[in-house]
Structure 1
Amino acid sequence: MNTQNEIVFFTGTQTKDTEKGIFRCTLNPLDGSMRIVSSTDGIENSTYLVVNSIGDRLYAVSEKSDGEVFVYVIDNKTGELHLLDRKPTQGADPCYISLSSDGQFVFVSNYSGGNVNVFRIGDNGTLEEKSCMITHSGHSVNPDRQESPHPHSIFPDPSGKFVLVCDLGIDQVVVYRLEEGELVKHHEVDLPPGAGPRHFDFHPTGKWAYCANELNNEITVFTYDDKTADLHTIQSISTLPDDYNEGVSYPADIHVSSCGRFLYASNRGHDSIVQYDIDLDTGNLTAVDWQSTQGEYPRNFTIVEGGYVLVANHKTGNVVSYFMDSETGRLTATGCELELPIPMCVQPLSV
């Protein structure tokens, strides 16, 4: 189904299980235009997706009160997804899913449940019973958003030895050692009270890490030691322009370019993608540009091969493409968009 060298990506949406929920789409690298190839129903609120390294399995969370993880076989001849497995997370509102670097484990964060899961992956990509479940405790200063733990993302570090969890509810990045499928508490990193850590990304060199804080509209920059998993704050910088005073805004997603020179984050409310230049000597950030997302409430975005960025606008139901200049990192809207029901996550096929 991949014609004219189109780039395949999947979009997860906030829809009912009787409606189409996950869409297989393609991006034309010549002009940034997009189209829907196929769609899948049977999953409610498929708000975050991840594809394995060889591109034949897709893992998705079902963000609901009785959360689940779904596993699909990716049929690259027909463009369709075939349900292979599903398991309960025993936590409410799972909102993030990732894979270990060796492809042996699935990590899930349950936002309302306050817990994180590890599932071992079987030989054919199915999920074995949970190998680990950890429940966080505590709260922080925002009574409306931080009354209890809210783990918002979970992901392995570049070494594959550690797993990090951004917990918005307790203002911590919690670091675990991954030991034969078990998460063993290593240490916690405190963020400023009311920061609300949400999403995280590492620099390609592994020397620095970046955290998008939902509640204080800042990016925290850390140095990182992959032998000890020590994180040391070296900078905090706003995601918003100095003159923004038009209402509430929340950063959502964050990604470092593969070249390591640029970092991008999405702002819901300001409805923009902010670009930072990265100092390759220090890891520090300088904000250089804000681009409108051509829609409202950009929850998630991704950088794809061929120099494009795709942004999912939650409230306006559109995925928008941008050309990314390889020299400056600047984003330019292609003028192309794809209408989808409540898009929440865009995930490229990894091969």
Structure 2
Amino acid sequence: MKERNEQLFYIGTYASREERGIYIGALHTDNGDLRMVGGVEGIERPSFLALHPNGAELYAASETEPGQLYTYQVNTQTGELHTMDRKGTEGAHTCYVSVTTDGQYVLASNYSGGNAVVFPATEAGGLGDMSGQVQHTGSGIRQDRQDAPHPHSIIPDPSGQYAMVCDLGLDQIIVYRLTEDGKLVTHRETDLPPGSGPRHLVFHPSGRYAFVANELNNTVTVFGYNERNGKLTLLQSLSTLPEGIIDVENTAADIRITPCGRFLYVSNRGHNSIVLYHVDLDSGKLKTIEWVETFGSTPRNFNILSGYLLVANQEGNNVVSFAIHGDDGRLTRTGYVLEVPSPVCIEPVR
């Protein structure tokens, strides 16, 4: 049960089906304290979570072969989850799930399957039959990581007209038009430098810019975005690592922006840090400000809620809270840690 001055959140993990897979945590909004509230078993490797805009359904990507999408009914008072539905994604290792801003469609990408899919969200709260699917083909220059397509995320744009698929294997962001009947129609392709490995993308609150975390070459790329035609225009590329770091094996992971649009963060797995950038609101360009240790190994995912940043350290087996300074976005460790086996996703309860 949520107490006064608490914000509930879900934690996705790499648990087996027999273990607790999704945890419910609570963040104390006065000091950043963390506590465990509950959770559910019966889902294997729920590595990414997305809440419906109405707050009443949670979707979980089961990163298995074959991949699956689970739907849970949310008790908005307690955060308690009840399984409603389960659908196959017709691809291996479902690694990402998102929901259009109008709540009409649920999108998912299959890392090993090389495909992205669309399901309509039903009025009853479950998922209808798959309405759209696209299959990627090709490869990149790195045979160890880019021997095939690897769609690592699918993100609807703010207008709901387009969906952006970051394909780590192809070094491309493929823009699809999302039709009224839930189909994905290829609209345009945006190439990144060979060996970039685009992973996750986030839009600026204004809708004028998009920022991409590139896993393989440890960069963040800034694009101008034209909502009318779905076009991404390259503006800038910066490293996610401090200058001179050469002896650390690192892969960039997650990317988030504050609701005010002034502060952007990216997580580094290996360097085990969060890098803060200031966003120029007039140009969209970034200025690197600082790196903060995550106090746990392999920060695969993190999220921003109630003035705090929560980091899921996959191999550190913990979730760590940081206070976000409102004037400059800098992070201060609160000292509070929640022990969780292999946490890989944080999703706030609305």
How far apart are the structure 1 equivalents of 2:327 and 2:77?
Answer: 36
C-alpha separation between the residues in 1 aligned to 2:224 and 2:76? 40
Q: Secondary structure at the match of 1:76?
A: coil
* Deviation, structure 1 residue 245: 2.2
Assess if the C-alpha contact under 8 Å between 2:53 and 2:102 holds in 1. no
Alignment of structure 1 residues 241-280 onto 2, 5 Å:
241-280=242-281
The CA distance in 1 between the partners of 2:68 and 2:24, in whole Å, is: 21
Separation in 1, partners of 2:245, 2:337: 26
Query: How many Å separate the matches in 2 of 1:319 and 1:78?
Result: 20
In the alignment, the residues of structure 2 paired with residue 293 and residue 327 of structure 1 have an alpha-carbon distance, to the nearest angstrom, of: 21
Gaps of 5+ in 1: none
Shift of 1:72: 0.4
Check if 1:302 corresponds to 2:303: yes
For 1:149 and 1:17, the matched residues in 2 are separated by 28
How far apart are 1:78 and its partner, in Å?
Answer: 4.5
The equivalent residue for 1:2 is 2
2:38 — aligned with what?
Answer: 38
**Are the structure 2 counterparts of residues 323 and 78 from structure 1 closer, same or farther at C-alpha, using a change threshold of 3 Å?**
closer
Partner of 2:91: 91
Superposed CA offset, 1:114-147 (max 9, x none): 0001001111111111001111011010001000
Structure 2: gaps (5+ residues) = none
Give the match's secondary structure for 1:116.
strand
Distance 2:331 2:32 in 1: 12
Which residue number in structure 2 is paired with residue 138 of structure 1? 138
Q: What letter corresponds to residue 300 of structure 1 in structure 2?
A: N
Residue in 1 that maps onto 2:25? 25
Q: What is the CA–CA distance in structure 2 between the aligned matches of 1:247 and 1:52, rounded to whole Å?
A: 38
CA contact 2:8–2:79 (8 Å) conserved in 1: no
The answer as to 2:176 corresponding to 1:167 is no
How many residue pairs align between the two structures? 349
SS in 2 for 1:147: coil
Amino acid at match of 1:346: I
TM-score (norm 1): 0.98
Tell me how far apart the structure 2 counterparts of residues 331 and 3 of structure 1 sit (CA, whole Å).
25
Per-residue Cα deviation, 1:54-81 (whole angstroms, up to 9, x for no partner): 2111100100111100000112344421
| Deviation, structure 1 residue 53 | 1.4
**Letter paired with 1:173:** I
Question: What is the Cα deviation at residue 40 of structure 1?
Answer: 0.3
For 2:199, the equivalent position in structure 1 comes to 198
- 2:177 corresponds in structure 1 to 177
Question: 1:49-128 counterparts in 2 under 5 A?
Answer: 49-128=49-128
Is the contact made by 2:2 and 2:78 (CA closer than 8 Å) also made in structure 1?
Answer: no
**Which one is further off, 71-80 or 266-275?**
71-80
Q: By how many angstroms is 1:202 displaced? A: 0.8
Partner of 1:31: helix, strand, or coil?
Answer: coil
Instruction: Return the alpha-carbon distance in structure 2 between the equivalents of residues 156 and 78 of structure 1.
Output: 29
Q: How has the CA–CA distance of structure 1 residues 94 and 35 changed in structure 2, closer, same or farther, with 3 Å as cutoff?
A: same
Letter in 1 for 2:289: V
Q: Provide the C-alpha distance between the structure 1 equivalents of 2:245 and 2:308, rounded to a whole number of angstroms.
A: 27
How far does residue 14 in structure 1 lie from its aligned partner after superposition? 0.2
Partner Cα distance (2:78, 2:186) in 1: 43
Alignment of 1:316-327 (within 5 A): 316-327=316-327
Residue 282 of structure 1 corresponds to which residue in structure 2?
283
Q: Distance in 2 between matches of 1:283 and 1:77?
A: 38
CA contact (8 A) 2:5 2:30 kept: no
After TM superposition, the structure 1 = structure 2 runs for residues 202-241 of structure 1, keeping only pairs within 5 Å, are: 202-241=203-242
Partner of 1:151: 151
Cα shift readout 1:234-270 (whole Å, capped 9, x = no counterpart): 1110000002123210110001111111110000000
Runs of 4+ in 1 over 3 A off after TM superposition: 76-79
Q: Percent identity?
A: 49
* 2:47 is aligned with 1:47: yes
